[in-house]
Amino acid sequence: MKLKNGNSVRGKFHEVSPHELKLSRGDKTITVSETEVQQVYRLEKKSAGSHAAIGGAIGLGAYVVGHALIFPENRAPVHSGDPPAMAFFGGAGALIGWVIGRRARRQVLLYDAGISAIISATGRQ
């Protein structure tokens, strides 16, 4: 969560009341007043599948470009030795993309004090 003073606080939600939030971080519990909170985010895992697909395409593209640079006289799209090499480069790229994608996280905004103040003032939800 981001605080109005510019600092950030990380932890797992422990308890929420109308006037304060309690976060747990290891053995410690951190209590933050509602008036101090600017934004609250939840971290979610991203899908590793899209990263794997992008990595596979990059690996396959690297093979095609490398093959064209090394063997400029072979202009035919596929030779007898190409499918295994294409599968290797595409698979290696997909594996690298999947590993990177497993670690990716995205922030989902749960609360913003500025938006909440506008809603309270206008009476809209």
| 52 shares a domain with 37 | no
| 92 shares a domain with 66 | yes
Query: pTM for the full model?
Result: 0.49
CB atoms within 10 A of CB 32: 16
Segment 64-72 mean pLDDT: 79
Percent of the chain with pLDDT over 70: 86
8 Å CB contact between 36 and 5: yes
8 Å CB contact between 46 and 101: yes
Q: Which amino acid is at 4?
A: K
SS3 content of the chain, % helix, strand, coil (to 5): 45, 30, 25
- Model pLDDT for residues 12-22, shown as the tens digit of each residue: 887 877 788 88
| 30 shares a domain with 19 | yes
| 40 shares a domain with 58 | no
8 Å CB contact between 95 and 87: no
| 99 shares a domain with 59 | yes
- The confidence score (pLDDT) of residue 123 equals 47
Quote the domain boundaries for residue 23. 2-44+105-122
Tokens in use for 63? 């093979």
Residue 57: pLDDT band with limits 50, 70, 90:
very high
| 84 shares a domain with 59 | yes
- The confidence score (pLDDT) of residue 119 equals 47
Number of independent structural domains in the chain: 2
